[in-house]
Structures are given as C-alpha cells and as structure tokens.
Structure 1
C-alpha cells in the first residue's frame, strides 16, 4: 500500500516524533492500520507493543523510585500505562492524521477516538521492535515517557500534574482547563514551548516555558493547582 502525499508527510512526522526512522515503512503503515481498513491491520502488533510498553515503564519506575514497594510501583505504572495517557500522547504526536481507517470509522471520528489512538501507539512500539529490535523500541518508549515519569508525584498516587488539576476541578464542578501553545521557537533539542493554562470561568491563566509542549503543560498545571488549592482548599483524604 503506497500512501498518498498527505499520508506520506504524516508518516514522516510520526517517525520524527518517535525518534526512529523505519527501514521498512510497511511496518509503520500496518501499525497505523485499523481493522476497519484492512485485514492486514495492527491488532497483532498491539499484543507485542503492550508487553514492550509495560516492561519499559516498569523498568523506568524501578530505576526512578528505588524505595517504593511492588504494589506502589504497580499503581504508578497503572497511571502511566492506560488508554487515556496513550491517547493523549498520540494526540500530541498528531497520530490521527496518519491513521488508515475504514469509511465508517472516518465518518464517525475514529481518527480522534481514544481506543483507536491508544492501540496505534502500542502497535507502533511493536513495529519499531520488528524493524530494529527490542532495544530500539525501549528507547522510543523511554523518550516519549521520560517527561511523564519525571512529573509523577507519588503523594498524588502517581498522577501527574495535569491529572491532579483535572480531577480537582471536576470535584469542584468547574470546567476542565484549556492548554494553548502561545509561542514556539527552535527545533529538535533547541525547541522551546511557551504554554498557557486557562481555568476559564475561574479567571486564572498562567504560562510556563519548557523544551517540550507536554513539559510546559505540566508546569502550568502545577502552578494552576497551587492557585486552586489556595482559593478552594481541598479536603485531604484520611
């Protein structure tokens, strides 16, 4: 299957985001192919990718939190390896633009469906391992999840700053925050992102700058949460 120019460009961007250039682009295409599009799809890839992801995140957490017990590490991993996080990561990478979907899925918005995006992420980890070996796939996972592992706060049951802020706003019955890229400069390792976090009806907006969008979003979420706790002190669970 030869992708059209738009898909070809999307596939190129995906490889840049992964930090891996495929020797066999066919593997990447299959990883991004939903069962609604073709019998040669990503379902079996997901099986392998899920195992690669779980092992790699487990090892990252094992190294990052040497004093935590097995149960505590398991809870941290569960908060990082789930459909919601994978879908969020896929959206950051614009994976939806590169998906190969059947007509029905296209019409129903499958390109932004969390389950489809999460499955594609797992399938891509498998595709990298088939293309260049397990170590290459492990490096891709480490690169993509490094910021999230660093942002984990065990006091909040392993939830990152964005998740903690979202749950706090929901508990207070306020709308979810909106994150916007206000400014972007440079490329690759020299890239800088200025991101804002807008709490809407609460009238609070803060900004932060970092080397990646997700890192900047985490910083703004942390600042917004600190403000929210001062204005609406949250009761601590016993």
Structure 2
C-alpha cells in the first residue's frame, strides 16, 4: 500500500466506506498525518488535525442522535455514559482496523516504521478525520449513515441493555475517569479439548497488566479479568485514602505517653 498513488488511496477509501466524496481533496486530507506533511512540504498537502476536530463532534452527534431515538425517556446522565461505552479511542481504532484504514494513511517515514499504522490513537484520530470529511463533503445524512454502519451493532447492544452494568463497562468508565485510559484485553492461552476449552485473558491499562482470569469463552474470561481489575483499583484507592499508621520506634516513646 505504500506505493499507492494519492488517487488510488482516495478510491480505496470510497470503496471501503461505500461513499463518494464530492470534494476528493477532503478525503486525501483525512488520510494525511502531520508527519507526512512535515516531510513532504513540496506536495502542499494539509494534515488531518482540523478534520479530526470536526469528526469528533460528528461521531458524538451521530451516536447521541441514535441513542436518543433508541432510548426515549432515558435521562441525560445515563445517555452520556452510554455514549462513552461506544465512542472511545479503542472502539474508534477497532472500527478503523475493520476498514483497513491504517494501510491507506500517509505517514512520515519515522511514524510508519515505528508501527504508526496500527496505533490506537493514530487510527482513532484518522477515523474521526474521515467522518469529518464525509460530513463536509456530503452533509449530515451520509455521515449518519456511515456511523450507523460502523457503530450500529454496538449502539443497539448498549441501548438494549446488553452492555450495561457489566464488569467490562464498569472498568471502562472507572479507567477513563481515574487514569484517562481504556482497558485492553488479550488472550494469553487456550487450553483443553475443542468442546471444553479454557481461555486465560489478561487486562492491561496503559503498559501495566492488572489481572488475569480464566473462562469457558473469551467473553467470560474478559468479564472475570475486568472484575479482578476493578477490585484491585478499588483496593488501591482505599489504601491511598486511609491514613498511614506510624509504627512506634523501638525504645522510643509510646504514642500514648504524655508529651515531655
């Protein structure tokens, strides 16, 4: 994909999105990372940061719109939490990978060689830029249609209650609130016969592994790992909140002794 022409990248993007850009320069801008612009100033390209800014608002609007349609009577605070379960860096990056967006991006050499095409943050930003470009090119309707296609299943899951109040959801909210990071789940091992497998999953937040747990399938193991991580985070919070107990120095005065 490195050798694709600029026009071929735009064509591939249109095919994967199922849209046609009336302003094809917007599509190219959405695919252009700032590191590429810095290394290729002679091409007079714009980076995708402004489109990313707009796309962030577009995806929030589109998902909010669908949640309000799907959940009449649900209060604002709960709708905000539901949207946060759908629109976050890891979720956006997952959608970007399903579109194989990384291989279409224009990246600087260093960013490309360091694995930028598979970085969650870079992919999430690029997807938002693409949504911003779709909106500017065709208006809200095609942007809503694209969000429906990319996020519709997850919107339905969260709106129907299937994604509420489970350990993964609770951990997602706590990790964002306290650490500003999304948990990541990885299958460590699969053991046992095909009809009775045991999955071991670990959960990471940032670079730290917080817990490992087993289950009869990946979802069960992920829930168990998320539960263990929640317990650990709450224990850590409690220990930080508790006042330190100062042990008496051997041979020194007791805390109950009157002052000298």
TM-score range, shorter chain: 0.5 to 0.7
Distance 2:137 2:108 in 1: 26
Could you tell me how far apart the structure 2 residues matched to 1:114 and 1:120 are?
Answer: 10
Q: Indicate conservation of the 8 Å contact 2:96/2:124, yes or no.
A: yes
What's 2:186 paired with? Answer: 176
> Is residue 151 of structure 2 the alignment partner of residue 145 of structure 1?
yes
The 3-state SS of whatever aligns with 1:49 is: helix
Listed as ranges, the gaps of 5+ residues in structure 2 are: 38-44, 173-184, 200-214, 232-260
> Using the alignment, how far apart are the partners of 2:151 and 2:111 within structure 1?
28
Are 1:90 and 2:89 matched, yes or no? no
Within a 5 Å distance, the mapping from 1:51-200 to structure 2 comes to 51-152=57-158, 153-156=163-166, 159=169, 176-177=186-187, 200=190
1:34 aligns with 2:33: yes
Aligned partner of 1:25 in structure 2 is 24
**Aligned counterparts of 2:167 and 2:83: Cα–Cα separation in 1:** 10
Q: TM-score, with normalisation over the residues of structure 2?
A: 0.61
Using a 3 Å threshold, how does the CA distance of structure 1 residues 150 and 99 change in structure 2: closer, same or farther? same
Are the counterparts in 1 of residues 32 and 106 from structure 2 also a CA contact under 8 Å? Answer: yes
Secondary structure class of the residue paired with 1:66: coil
Matches within 5 A, 1:196-215: 200-201=190-191, 203-204=197-198
When Rg is computed on C-alpha atoms for both structures, the one with the higher figure is: 2
Greater shift in the superposed pair: 77-86 or 148-157: 148-157
> Contact 1:10/1:97 (CA < 8 Å) preserved in 2?
no
Whole-Å Cα distance in 2 between the matches of residues 63 and 157 of structure 1? Answer: 26
Residues 131 and 69 (structure 1), Cα distance of their counterparts in 2 relative to 1, 3 Å cut: same
CA RMSD between the two structures: 3.4
Aligned length: 185
* Cα distance change of structure 1 residues 114 and 142 upon mapping to structure 2, 3 Å threshold: same
> Could you tell me which residue of structure 2 aligns to residue 190 of structure 1?
none
Q: 1:91, 1:70 → 2: CA distance? A: 31
With over 3 angstroms needed to count, the CA separation of the structure-2 counterparts of 1:67 and 1:22, relative to structure 1, is same
- CA distance, structure 1, for counterparts of residue 222 and residue 35 of structure 2: 44
Structure 2 distance, partners of 1:66, 1:222, is 36
Aligned counterparts of 1:222 and 1:36: Cα–Cα separation in 2: 44
Gaps of 5+ in 1: 164-174, 179-198, 206-220
